Amino acid sequence: MKIKFLGQSCFLIETNGKNIIIDPYLTENPKNPTSLNDIPKLDLILITHAHSDHVGNAVELALRDDALIVTGTELARWLASKGAKVIPAGIGGKKDFEFISVKFTQAIHSSSINDNGQMLYGGLAAGILIYAEGKTIYHAGDTALFLDMKLIGEMNNIDYAILPIGDNFTMGIDDSVTAAKWLKAKKYIPMHYNTMPLIEQDPYEWLGKIESKGLAGEILNYGDVLEIQ
């Protein structure tokens, strides 16, 4: 399995010969040099919630590749109205595919769609558990710290937990470290920081605090690829 960081909360996962992208905020991301031509043919698109820095280029990529989008019910219906193939998902719901399984988890965050200047309700924000090749990846989405992260850690043997650290809109560094202690993952990756002034953070401060708790963290720069054996 390979995981490539594409900025903000966007990750490209290659597993079992398939390509999955999470929160494809690409062309509008001021810090991301990736063009859509750099994105391989996608089989599955996962979206945590309806904000534009997470939906991003989902419709364009879905139509380009005839890829399936899995996301919350309200957002899925809106994406379907744009011509995309979708499967609506609810919090706690799991969906099995031949090459991957995904389960949507709780996240504490807002979710709305800007549709030509009209603000629409986007449903509940979510995190996503990804099960593939005997590994478990937890993408927390945009979220505050919440106590049920302990339960997510108890119910899952998490290999990599990807956590926001940007503060202001989500957890900051200290709350992210607390979440890491509760989740009991083998390793942690920071996301959702330094894309805009309101979420500027020092990831090395985060890494130092993670390691001071006896936990393992890894900072991925834009375009970095993590290979999981």
Question: Per-residue pLDDT tens for 74-120?
Answer: 999 999 999 999 999 999 999 999 999 999 999 999 999 989 889 99
Q: Which residues pair with 102 in a beta bridge?
A: 95, 130
Inside any domain, residue 206: yes
Q: Is residue 227 in a domain? A: no
Q: How many CB atoms lie within 10 A of CB 178?
A: 14
Indicate the pairing of strand 112-115 with strand 118-121: antiparallel
Q: What is the DSSP letter of 217?
A: B
**Considering the domain boundaries, does residue 79 fall inside one?**
yes
- Which pLDDT belongs to residue 229? 80
Domain count, the chain: 1
Is 122 contained in some domain? yes
What's the number of CA atoms in the CB half-sphere (13 Å) around residue 12?
Answer: 23
Q: What is the pLDDT of residue 31?
A: 83
Within-domain flag for 142: yes
pLDDT number for residue 132: 97
Q: What is the pLDDT of residue 41?
A: 98
Residue 84 lies in a domain: yes
Q: Say whether 210 sits in a helix, a strand or coil.
A: helix
Residue where the block lists tokens 């500027």: 200
- Mean pLDDT of the 132-155 span: 98
The model carries a pTM of 0.97
Residues 20-62: tens digit of each pLDDT: 999 999 999 988 878 899 999 999 999 999 999 999 999 999 9
Q: Exposed, middle or buried: residue 144 (CB in 10 Å: 0-12, 13-18, 19+)?
A: middle
Portion of the chain with pLDDT greater than 90, in percent = 95
Whole-number pLDDT of residue 14: 98
Q: pLDDT tens digit string along 187-226? A: 999 999 999 999 999 999 999 999 999 999 999 999 999 9
Mean pLDDT in residue range 114-135:
95
Domain residues for the domain of 147 are 2-220
Which domain CATH number covers 132?
Answer: 3.60.15.10
pLDDT given at position 161: 98
Q: What is the mean pLDDT of the chain?
A: 97
Residue 229 lies in a domain: no
Residue 226 lies in a domain: no
